[in-house]
Structure 1
Amino acid sequence: MENSVLHRANTRGHAHHGWLNSYHSFSFSSYYNPERMNFGVLRVLNDDTVDAGMGFGAHPHRNMEIVSIPLEGALEHQDNIGNVTTIRHGDIQVMSAGTGVQHSEYNHRKDSLVKFLQIWIIPNQQNVTPRYDQQTLKIADRHNRFQQILSPSESDEGVWIYQDAWFHLGRFDKDFKTLYTLKKEGNGVYVFVLNGNIAINQQELSDRDGYGLWDISSFDFTAHSQDAEVLLMEVPMSL
């Protein structure tokens, strides 16, 4: 029997630090909600806006898969394993923190905001050697289809992580319909609407709504507005 959880955009945690405006789909930092700790191994989904020239100073992570998806602008990344890079809209970045890594993230531009999703996934292997990767995606490849951007395999599309998870991005014409079939039995899918109005089965969703489904093998997707954009995060439900 299908199970689901609905997180409307206006029920998310919110923190405004002046230079950083952040919305939390799950408990994070000073936002604590015991009913919103995670969705399976999806632990953090932060919707961040960073002021021009500002950012996060060097800070540590351990045993977490950290995924960044820029939605607007450019984000500069530096870490203590030798990477100095900039990611932009159309890119995806992953960092396996493993035994420990320090990194910083700054808005690369002095005259415009940067908007990005920061996502943490609990890994299926502990204390791995830290690693970093990023890829530039072909945005055209997500028109009226779910473009795979992350998987468990180095040889598959997108970046890879230490977890049986698959992420897809899609941008759809109004009234377009399709079916999403889960990759692995026992997984669930957390749907996050980036823009527009959609329906998952019979559930209507709009900008920044989150909707998690599990105990399913597939679901129907319908776009109800032009250029509706959505991120699907298929993840194991057991920690």
Structure 2
Amino acid sequence: MTYLMSVVVYDVIEVVYDIFEVVYDVTEVVYDVTKVVYHVTEVVYDVTEVVYDISEVVYDVTEVVYDIFEAVYDVTEVVYDVTEVVYDISEVVYDVTEVVYDISEVVYDVTEVVYDISEVVYDIFEVVSDVIEVVSDVTEVVYDVTDTHFLIRATEKKNPIEEKIEEIPERKKHNSTQLRHRVGSTHSPDLWGESERERDGVTKTSALTCSAMGTPASPDV
């Protein structure tokens, strides 16, 4: 009985020993796994630190990029405002250009009208000039014909008034001689004769002038 108990205890001890060996083996495996996990954890930690550093750098870069975006946005707003102002100025310039174009068209039309009027006035001046030339030529012809006519009349026919005028010097000479004898004048006959000749010459000249012009001489002459 004791032997059986001893055998049983021995078997139990062997089983326990085997269990302890298994546990030991498992513990070693767990230890090895723990070591591996620890190393992996260290690597992960190192990677995490690197990632954290990278994240900090990325964050800083992100802040810089954000600041750049804000600056670009502000510049974009300024450019937009300037673009609106330029657009408004362009509209004003376009309107002014249209007004100037309309004024240019009006000025062009007025210039064409003035040019047409100038051409008409020039044509009228040419016609008037031609008429004046024709009238001048006709006047010269009439003047030449009239002058020739009066010269022909003056040479062909003597005016009756001239005949009477020619008789006047003889009458004056006769009357003056009688007058000197009556009043006992001391004047020289040459002076009287010279004076009468001068008057005769003036009288004849006046009569010839009137005859040439075609107007009757005055009876007073």
Interval containing the TM-score (normalised by the shorter chain): under 0.3
Higher helix share: 2
With the length of structure 2 as denominator, give the TM-score of the two structures. 0.13
With the length of structure 1 as denominator, give the TM-score of the two structures. 0.13
Higher relative contact order (CA 8 A, sep 6+): 1
Higher strand share: 1
Larger radius of gyration: 2
